[in-house]
Structure 1
Amino acid sequence: MGMESWPSKFIYVRCFLLLLLNVTHCFLLVQTQALGQVDECSALLQFKESFAINKSVSAYPLAYPKVAFWTLEGDQNRSNCCSWDGVECDEDSGHVVGLNLSSSCLYGSINSSNTLFRLVHLQRLDLSDNHFNFSEIPSRFGQDLSSLTYLNLSNSLFYGQIPSEISILSKLSTLDLSHNSWKLHPDIIPLKLTKGYMRSLVRNLTNIKQLHLSEVDIFSTVPDILVNASSLTSLQLRFCGLNGEFPIDIFHLPNLEVLDVYGNSNLTGYFPNFNRSNKLLKKLNVAFTNFSGMLPASIGNLHSLNLLDISYCNFSHYLPSSLGNLTQLNYLDMSGIFYDVPNNNSTGQLVSEYSLSWIASLTNLYSLSLGATKFRGKFPSFVANLTQLSFLNLGVNEITGQIPSWLMNLTQLTTLYLTGNNLSEAIPRSLFQLQNLEILDLSYNNLSGQVEFDQFSQPKKLKELYLSYNKLSLQIITNLSATIPQLEVLKLSSCNLIEFPEFLKYQSELRELQLSDNNIQGRIPKWVWNATRETLLTLGLYSNFLTGFDQNPINLPWQNLYSLDLRTNMLQGSLPIPPQSIRNYMVGSNNYSGEISPSFCNLNHLNILDLSNNSLSGMLPQCLGNSSALGILKLTNNSFHGGIPQMCPDENSLKMVDLSYNQLQGKIPRSMANCTQLEFLNLGNNQISDIFPSWLGALPALQFLSLRSNGFHGMIGKSATNHDFPKLCIIDLSDNGFSGVLPSNYLENWNSMKFVDENSRKVSKAKRKPAL
């Protein structure tokens, strides 16, 4: 019996031992995982504590602070951060493998000591749409996070050199470092790649599918090694400073779906013959590049294409009708293309219906832009077929006749740009039935008749309205009040207004207000600024009959004002002091008097200062020319006296200085030798006593120089080099005390005076529309 039972007992004991070993192994494994999780959870908490939460730094409307909900509960040794918002863990190992903190309102810097780099098992990391306070991307991203397959640091205000260690991340399928400069301060250096690094980056990322480097300063050619990136599905290189010729074989990558090189003006290239290898291409954007050549008829083979933007390129000749085969297109922009379609018109003029009738078949379009295309004739009837349109731009063309009433059938329309055409007659009432309309631009046309402004209360979503420079007369009901939607942009220049529209009392969201070239008289009422004190950025009231402000505030009431244009009015008193945000301060041709307040020296962002043609007096503040941002300084025709302030610090933007017709004395400050961008200098009709400023000849951009009617004296003297005043076109030395003769080598070397720019001559003769 004993002997017979032994094998079964042996088997039982053996199984028990195996089970015990497995349990021990599992216990050790769980314990190891728990310790690993504790360390990673601790690292995440320390990462959270290294940032402030600021809801204004994330642009996404639904952004929220994910890390705000991270907390340890109970026994820290048993804490599981895998349940935290934005954290993903591997089911088997328990390690943190994914971290999605996009649009999480994080504000602060990331440096090499950040605990983020303890998460060595990370495979997916998304920190996009935060504010990392202009910190550089640490090299540890490449050194410690070697398992990353997805890395997104876009829209998060990193800056400086991209570390070469990023190329170590050979497993990456997605790398997105784009859009880190769009909201940067001008003095902050955006992300950039050193010369040649683009090639090594592409060579090492052999698994790359999505490469997004838009707004990274690359300033090199597109490496031809990209044609070997057979896995690539999306290549986005907008505004990278790319140059040279775009490798044409990139178009034939077998998996390519998105190609976007928008805004690289020095990038040349042309389209290939598209074949079946391009069957996946969905988005093609080469706008604002130097792409040229014919648009091939084979472009009609891109049957999956839903976005095509070839605006402002140099494509030549006619557009192939095969474009009508792109029936999946949602977005089409061909602005700035000059059509050259053979036709039977003896005058050689273009017929819009003939050249673009194929657009009628693109019934899925929601965005169509044909701006600045020399489009000629009546309003294009093919638009009536495009009932899904949300965005329509036909601006800056030669469209004539009436705005068609059938536009009311485009019920999805949110944006309508018809500016800069020759449209005439009245605005059809049916236009106001577009209930989804948000932006309406009818400016710079020949529209006429009386417009009852209360009609604009019908499109309840209207945000931007442009009616300037037509032949319209606006009838504004006094008690219109709150029936008008809350507008953000309102431009009613040259609309025969005689007073400020009273409904402005209730417009609390206005960013831009233009009421220039009207007949508005008297004072600017206080209620105009009460509603817009915090929101208004741009105010244009030039060419009216304004005499001042209600209560004459010492400081302008708008807290965030960017641009102020009060030129050509009848404004009196002291100059109102603008806020720190001001960049363009233009009050020329008024009756302002008194001195320039020293407060103007504190305007660090000031780019244009125009105080010309007033009755201002006193000495110019000595700090006036010290701003590195100042580009235009116009003080002509006042009564300023004393010396000219020092101009141009080491870094400066000064392009125009006009101090003529004052009583300025002394010498030209030698600091003006630093004004290397200066193009226009007028010191005429003052009391300056100096010798000929030959040292100004070193300024490389100077085109206009007037020293007339001053106390300049002595001999001009022979030029020291053959490169003095290299760009000078106009010089006026008359009515001074110069002696001797003008040295002949000046006249011999002022080559810019000898040539006529034929293109400029043609432009000057051509019929041009007003600036938009």
Structure 2
Amino acid sequence: MASPVESSVLLPLLLLCLFLHRGPLVASVISAGPNRPNCHPGEMSSLLELRDSFILASVSDNPLDYPKTRSWKIDGNKSHTDCCLWDGVECDRQGHVTVLDLSNSLLYGSMNSTSSLFRLTHLERLSLAYNNFNYSRIPSGFSLLERLTHLNLSGSSFAGRVPLDIILLTRLVSLDLSENLDADLAGLLVLDNHGLGRLLRNLTNLEELNLGYVGISSSVPIALANLSSLRRLSLNNCGFYGAFPQPVFLLPNLLYLNMIENENLSGQLPEFNKSSPLKSFLMGVTDFSGKIPVSIGNLTSLNQLDLSAGSFSGSIPSSLGQLGKLNYLDIGENDFGSLPLSSLSWIWKMTMLSKLYLGKMNLQGGISPSIGNLTGLVELSLAFNQLTGTVPPQISNLTRLELLSFRVNNLSGPILPCLMNMTDLAILSLASNRFSGEIPPSISQLQNLQFIGLKRNVFTGSVELDEFIQLKSLHILLLSFNQLSVRANITTPVRNAPQLDILGLSSCNLGEFPGFLRHQENLDWIDLSDNKIYGDVPEWIWNLSSHRLEYMNLSHNFLTGQESDLPLLPHLNLLTLDLSHNKFKRPIPAPPKSILFYLISENELEGEILSHFCELGDLVLLDLSFNNMSGAIPGCLGNASRHLAILNLQSNGFHGTIPEFLANRNELLMIDLSHNQLGGKLPRSLARCNKLVFIDLGGNRIDDTFPYWLGSLPELHVLILHSNKFHGKIDHPLSEPVFQKLQIIDLSDNGFSGTLPEEYFRSWTAMRTINSSRNQFAYLQLPLVPGKYLAYTSYGDYDYTMTVIYKGLKQYYPKIPVVLVMIDFSSNLFQGTIPDLVGELKGLQGLNFSNNFLTGSIPSSLGNLTVLESLDLSNNNLTGMIPQSLADITTLSIFSVSYNDLKGPIPRGKQFDTFPINSYEGNPGLCGENMPKQCGYTGGSQPRQLPTSHKGNDNSRSITDDIPWIVVAMGYTGGLVVGVVLGDLFASRRRAWFEPTVRRRTKPARRGGYAVRPRQVPLRG
């Protein structure tokens, strides 16, 4: 038997443990007592009425969920007749209910101000956290509970405005309204601009305030600094902006501060005192800037520090190494500049660390063997840096690791066998490095693995899927883009195979569909593209995870059809289907109405566009390009989807007219109908598509005048109308300026007449300056749809592509550089002179006025085009001399003035010493070195004769003859990464989805001109 002393110690400890546990026994222990009466009948009645106002959710995957109200009933049992003994209920000595804890109680239903809850007026502590109140508003009735000191409504699907009646609860010590989120993890609650200030002025006793994910969208009130009792402050994801009041950092009792993901919240860190009690300091994903002060080392109680994704600069103070209690550190994604990892050697001495994130810090050099000192690490990320060398074997000391991410570095060597010591490893992310060798079969021994990301490395050899299917916890497997040969022969019994969520086996030399997929029911995302899968698609693939699948990519294979006719895909939630670059001939199943992105380009499909596509109200991208389809484009297609951003029907046989496009809510960013047989006039509704960036209607039979009415489109960068039946003068714009962002315009091979349009040259603002990105690999890209849509595409931003006649050659651009500025008015009926204004378009890289009837001299102002690379003025009636100023254009590599009436000496020096003779042929008055006519020739031997070439001869050729040259030296850039796991999935390779081509149709030679015959250029993402 315990002694009285022991009992006096043990009993309080037991009560404290039970209270902290907050289990069902708390009420019976705290409320029990020989002198306490039963709870008041009225309060029992109110509790029973509260119970009956909700239903209990029957399914939960949260082990903390427990239906507390199920025990609330009246029968002969003492614990039932006394509501003070019910689960979650506590009473005072008079039998009044003072504590009601219904957190995680599986409650479902709406709540309003008439709820019986508000009759429990003696309540001091109330928690309704983590239930589902079905997006109902927070009732104003809470203001009736005047004795409340603790109110917790977090994570319970409350929505709407927070009632300001809460400010009447002046006794509140703790208020938690956080994490009321929708299915997309967006906040549901809103607190108006002045509401937070009023709340802070009234609730002066607050010690804990948690408004995470409440939409506030204001500056942070200075009144926060007056809450001297505040211990915990969490205002994450609230939409704060402006400067954060520095005195808040120095509140004397503040232990926990969380302001993460307020991206527009700015400020600088203060000088910290040694007396600060801060234990958790979370300021990640804000716009704080300046240096991290050395005095941060004074926060000796700190155990969590997050300064990630801000604008901090300067050096990282080594005083961080003095924070001996720190177990969580994230300082990644700031502006510290290039750093050798060795400069952070103090990190390897922080042996209490359990989570270390140093991603996107531009770290260089190798990983120190001292990393093995951090034996307590559970999560380690050095992702998105420039680390080189091999992973040191000392990493084997980190046996507690559950997350290891080295993705997007330059690390090399094999996967170390020592990684197999990490038996707790759940997430292994090594994507986008130079790891090589074989993937060891022993990886199947890491039975806790849930995520394996090994894509984009140099792994070789054969891999049996069996090695991964033995991992029963596996949910995500990404092996794409290595040099692997993945074999799908599965010997593990299918019933033992894990249910995957994500499978990426692109470019893995697969020759068949893996049979184990037949029994996968939980797949959200599957990529089997760029393999060698032949023949028909089995019916079970079309039915794969039909209730969950959101993304399917079977592109770049050799698929020809389907085993059975299935008119409509059964998937209820499919968002992306990519079947492009196959050999489908017969119609494939129509996509479900949920589809956002549908790609079946570069196949052999015939027939018309199904009327079903007019029923896809959420469609964002439709790409049917490079097929053998025909018929008219359905008139409803332009009006079907309120989200349609990309319409790519190029290189088919569509005829008829272009349909009108929805005037209201129009989201069109790109339209490519080139290389069809479309006629008629352009639909004037295009002028209302204010977001259009790219228009390619080349290679059709459109019979119209110049669409000056498109000049008001504020975002238009590319306008391609070549090879149609456009005609007439280019009318004056109704107002100036017009086409201000235009960078590429191609009107070639039409019947435009009149003079060159000076008014337009004057308006083209984007062409008048030299792009500052000239020395960078930057491209015109399509940030299609932000947020959730981007995740389901897996491609990141979309890249515009095109094939153009540039520098006299047909060039394919898988990405269009942002610096590319081109004007092509060739092969029309333009007359008059070349305006001096053209020389003000200093961003021009390509200028082609060839095959017109231009007269007068070449303006010397063209010498101001200092980045010009290609200039073609051939086949006109130009006179005078070639301006000497052109010799100063050091970037000029292609130049032609052939077949004009130019005279005088050819400029000498720099680029002009490199141009071939045929750049000048057909101008008998020109003279110069290596020319038939020498300048100053007076007699003597005859000048050297060139091969005969006559104007008007159909066999004559100039520098712009059809010489195929495909430009493919375009790099890829990374996509948006959100988190280690999601980033590894969704920041996959970008594809060149938009494959517009600019091909000139064969045209009879005119005035010694030439005909350019289009050649099909094989285009691949």
Q: TM-score range by the shorter chain?
A: 0.7 to 0.9
1:559 to 549, 572, 593: 572
Cα deviation, 1:334-378, whole Å, max 9, x if unaligned, reads: 443566447999xxx965457x77765543321122211323332
Change (3 A) 1:520 1:160: same
Q: Is the 8 A contact 2:555 2:582 kept in 1?
A: yes
2:276: which partner in 1?
A: 278
Shift of the alpha carbon at 1:712?
A: 4.2
Q: Which runs of 5+ in 1 are unaligned?
A: 1-28
1:310: which partner in 2?
A: 307
2:455: which partner in 1?
A: 443
Q: Is the 8 A contact 1:453 1:474 kept in 2?
A: yes
1:11: which partner in 2?
A: none
In structure 1, what is the Cα distance between the partners aligned to 2:254 and 2:554? 51
Shift of the alpha carbon at 1:37?
A: 1.8
* Matched AA of 1:662: N
Shift of the alpha carbon at 1:596?
A: 2.8
Q: Secondary structure at the match of 1:40?
A: helix
Q: Secondary structure at the match of 1:440?
A: strand
1:370: which partner in 2?
A: 382
In structure 2, what is the Cα distance between the partners aligned to 1:211 and 1:325? 30
In structure 2, what is the Cα distance between the partners aligned to 1:669 and 1:217? 42
* Matched AA of 1:314: S
In structure 2, what is the Cα distance between the partners aligned to 1:660 and 1:200? 60
Shift of the alpha carbon at 1:62?
A: 4.7
Q: Is the 8 A contact 1:159 1:191 kept in 2?
A: yes
Change (3 A) 1:343 1:37: closer
* Aligned length in residues: 728
Shift of the alpha carbon at 1:79?
A: 6.0
In structure 1, what is the Cα distance between the partners aligned to 2:730 and 2:549? 51
1:123: which partner in 2?
A: 124
Q: Is the 8 A contact 1:335 1:373 kept in 2?
A: no
* Matched AA of 1:696: L
Q: How does 1:190-209 map to 2 (within 5 A)?
A: 190-209=188-207
More deviation in 752-761 or 402-411? 752-761
Q: Secondary structure at the match of 1:44?
A: helix
Q: Which has the larger radius of gyration?
A: 2
The reply to whether residue 523 of structure 1 matches residue 536 of structure 2 is: yes
Change (3 A) 1:401 1:724: same
Q: Secondary structure at the match of 1:731?
A: strand
1:289 to 286, 291, 297: 286
* Matched AA of 2:593: Q
Q: Is the 8 A contact 1:334 1:369 kept in 2?
A: no
Change (3 A) 1:397 1:184: closer
1:415 to 427, 431, 456: 427
2:262: which partner in 1?
A: 264
2:645: which partner in 1?
A: 631
In structure 2, what is the Cα distance between the partners aligned to 1:162 and 1:454? 54
In structure 2, what is the Cα distance between the partners aligned to 1:564 and 1:688? 32
Change (3 A) 1:394 1:114: same
Q: How does 1:642-657 map to 2 (within 5 A)?
A: 642-648=656-662, 650-657=664-671
The reply to whether residue 110 of structure 1 matches residue 124 of structure 2 is: no
Q: Secondary structure at the match of 2:581?
A: coil
1:166: which partner in 2?
A: 166
The reply to whether residue 676 of structure 1 matches residue 680 of structure 2 is: no
In structure 1, what is the Cα distance between the partners aligned to 2:700 and 2:147? 71
Change (3 A) 1:145 1:319: same
TM-score by length of 1: 0.85
Q: Is the 8 A contact 1:481 1:506 kept in 2?
A: no
2:221: which partner in 1?
A: 223
2:183: which partner in 1?
A: 183
TM-score by length of 2: 0.65
* Matched AA of 2:172: L
1:501 to 514, 523, 528: 514
* Matched AA of 2:239: G
In structure 2, what is the Cα distance between the partners aligned to 1:153 and 1:673? 50
* Matched AA of 2:110: S
Q: Is the 8 A contact 1:585 1:609 kept in 2?
A: yes
More deviation in 460-469 or 696-705? 696-705
2:248: which partner in 1?
A: 250
1:724 to 738, 742, 756: 738
Cα deviation, 1:36-82, whole Å, max 9, x if unaligned, reads: 3255235414xx33x454446x673553554455445589xx96544
Q: Is the 8 A contact 2:48 2:72 kept in 1?
A: no
In structure 2, what is the Cα distance between the partners aligned to 1:67 and 1:618? 64
Change (3 A) 1:662 1:208: farther
Change (3 A) 1:217 1:380: farther
Q: Secondary structure at the match of 1:762?
A: coil
Change (3 A) 1:535 1:193: same
Shift of the alpha carbon at 1:720?
A: 3.7
* Matched AA of 1:132: F
The reply to whether residue 36 of structure 1 matches residue 42 of structure 2 is: yes
The reply to whether residue 477 of structure 1 matches residue 477 of structure 2 is: no
Cα deviation, 1:707-759, whole Å, max 9, x if unaligned, reads: 33344455443334445334332233334444434543332232222334434
Cα deviation, 1:494-528, whole Å, max 9, x if unaligned, reads: 11111112222333332221111111111222343
In structure 2, what is the Cα distance between the partners aligned to 1:686 and 1:669? 14
Change (3 A) 1:335 1:117: same
Query: Identity of counterpart residues, as a percentage?
Result: 45
Q: Secondary structure at the match of 1:591?
A: coil
Root-mean-square deviation (Å): 3.5
Shift of the alpha carbon at 1:469?
A: 0.7
1:319 to 311, 316, 320: 316
In structure 1, what is the Cα distance between the partners aligned to 2:537 and 2:210? 49
1:13: which partner in 2?
A: none
* Matched AA of 2:103: S
In structure 1, what is the Cα distance between the partners aligned to 2:95 and 2:681? 77
In structure 2, what is the Cα distance between the partners aligned to 1:310 and 1:254? 21
Change (3 A) 1:418 1:589: same
Shift of the alpha carbon at 1:554?
A: 0.9
In structure 1, what is the Cα distance between the partners aligned to 2:340 and 2:419? 30
Q: Secondary structure at the match of 1:604?
A: coil
In structure 1, what is the Cα distance between the partners aligned to 2:971 and 2:612? 44
Change (3 A) 1:135 1:151: same
Cα deviation, 1:121-147, whole Å, max 9, x if unaligned, reads: 433333333443333334343x33333
In structure 1, what is the Cα distance between the partners aligned to 2:217 and 2:668? 26
The reply to whether residue 455 of structure 1 matches residue 467 of structure 2 is: yes
In structure 2, what is the Cα distance between the partners aligned to 1:741 and 1:170? 78
* Matched AA of 1:745: E
Q: Is the 8 A contact 2:47 2:116 kept in 1?
A: no
Q: Secondary structure at the match of 2:777?
A: helix
In structure 1, what is the Cα distance between the partners aligned to 2:430 and 2:621? 30
The reply to whether residue 63 of structure 1 matches residue 75 of structure 2 is: no
Q: Is the 8 A contact 1:137 1:163 kept in 2?
A: yes
* Matched AA of 1:257: L
2:415 to 374, 386, 403: 403
Change (3 A) 1:542 1:714: same
2:438 to 413, 416, 426: 426
The reply to whether residue 705 of structure 1 matches residue 706 of structure 2 is: no
Q: Which runs of 5+ in 2 are unaligned?
A: 1-35, 344-361, 779-968, 976-987, 989-1021
In structure 1, what is the Cα distance between the partners aligned to 2:421 and 2:342? 33
In structure 2, what is the Cα distance between the partners aligned to 1:238 and 1:60? 24
Q: Is the 8 A contact 1:397 1:420 kept in 2?
A: yes
Change (3 A) 1:343 1:307: closer
